[in-house]
Amino acid sequence: MTAFLALLRRDLLVAARNAPMLLTATLTQPILVVLVFGNILPRLGLVADEFRTVMVPGLMSITILMAGVQGVLMPLAADLSGTREVDERILAPITIFGVALEKVVAGAIHSALAGLIALPAMMLLIHQVTGVAVRPNLLILLPLVAMCGMVAASFGLTLGTRFQPRFSGLLFAVVLGPLMLFGCAYYPYAALEVLGPVQYVFLLNPLVFMSEAMRLAVTPEVRHMPVPLMLAGLAGYLALFLWSGARTFARRTIV
Give the model's pLDDT for residue 34.
Answer: 72
Give the model's pLDDT for residue 201.
Answer: 93
Give the model's pLDDT for residue 85.
Answer: 66
Give the model's pLDDT for residue 144.
Answer: 94
Give the model's pLDDT for residue 235.
Answer: 96
Give the model's pLDDT for residue 150.
Answer: 94
Q: Where are the alpha helices (DSSP H) in the chain?
A: 2-17, 19-35, 41-43, 51-78, 86-90, 96-130, 138-160, 168-171, 177-181, 206-218, 227-253
Enumerate residue ranges in the chain where pLDDT < 70: 19, 26, 38, 45-52, 78, 80-92, 126-133, 165-169, 255
Give the model's pLDDT for residue 143.
Answer: 93
> How many residues are recorded in the chain?
255
Give the model's pLDDT for residue 131.
Answer: 58
Give the model's pLDDT for residue 48.
Answer: 66
Q: CB pairs under 8 A, 24+ apart, for 249-253?
A: 249/76, 249/96, 249/99, 249/100, 249/157, 249/161, 250/96, 250/97, 250/100, 252/80, 252/161, 253/80, 253/86, 253/87, 253/90, 253/96, 253/99
DSSP 183: T
